[in-house]
């Protein structure tokens, strides 16, 4: 069964979240999770759908202003968390080490984890895609191994929010390389939308999608979920 995860980033407050879930009816035959901003988690959990957070700290508690722990998320009814999204790496100083630590803490606490990896445009053009992915994936693998609760999301940084999307061949190649390093499901992320979802999800080794902007629109996100269910 394919996994489709909607990453809302810093969009949709509690009211918009309730409106979304009043309309959202995903098809059967697909595992669907939604990742709202922290302020909307309560409203999202109340929908009865599977909800992930967008981040989680490695400590159970402590003086970490602005962070949230795995036990807190579990108490809220959250089922998992995204870890190491490229925006966290770019804007908030995430490193391969902190991504691995967050992943381990979340999995040990009983949360599912979507750990993000991916190369920048400069790295791809320099022929460094495999080197970058190896460093990122092996850091996670050395920390947690092929954990049943772990999913990797391959998100080429050059395709996130840019409208550019990896070709099916590029996605297949990257996913095969990630799986050669760590035997876990691999999602594709990076400008996934209804128009390209079916073609991408049909590729070998593409076990689902981490959807950004298109997950904010009920109709678009439902269409992507339908594309996954039809595979």
Cite the active site residues: 85, 155
Cα distance between residue 81 and residue 92, in whole Å: 17
Cα distance between residue 80 and residue 90, in whole Å: 22
Cα distance between residue 214 and residue 220, in whole Å: 6
Retrieve residue 222's tokens: 């439902």
Helix (H, G, I), strand (E, B) or coil at 76: helix
Cα distance between residue 94 and residue 101, in whole Å: 11
Task: Give the distance from CA 50 to its chain's centroid.
Answer: 13
Cα distance between residue 100 and residue 115, in whole Å: 9
């Amino acid at each position: 069964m394919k996994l489709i995860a909607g990453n809302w980033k810093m969009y949709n407050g509690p009211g918009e979240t309730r409106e979304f879930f009043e309309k959202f009816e995903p098809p059967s035959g697909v595992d669907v999770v939604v990742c709202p901003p922290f302020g909307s988690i309560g409203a999202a959990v109340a929908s009865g759908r599977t909800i992930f957070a967008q981040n989680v700290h490695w400590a159970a508690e402590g003086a970490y202003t602005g962070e949230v722990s795995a036990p807190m998320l579990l108490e809220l009814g959250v089922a998992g968390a995204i870890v190491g999204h490229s925006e966290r790496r770019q804007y908030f100083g995430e490193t391969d080490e902190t991504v691995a630590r967050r992943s381990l803490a979340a999995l040990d606490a009983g949360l599912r984890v979507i750990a993000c990896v991916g190369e920048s445009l400069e790295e791809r053009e320099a022929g460094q895609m495999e080197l970058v992915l190896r460093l990122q994936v092996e850091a996670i693998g050395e920390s947690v191994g092929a954990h049943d609760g772990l999913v990797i999301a391959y998100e080429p940084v050059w395709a996130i929010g840019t409208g550019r999307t990896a070709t099916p061949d590029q996605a297949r190649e990257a996913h095969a390389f990630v799986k050669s390093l760590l035997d876990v499901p691999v999602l594709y992320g990076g400008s996934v939308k209804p128009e390209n979802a079916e073609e991408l999800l049909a590729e070998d080794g593409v076990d689902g999608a981490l959807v950004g902007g298109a997950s904010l629109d009920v109709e678009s996100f439902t269409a992507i979920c339908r594309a996954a269910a039809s595979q």
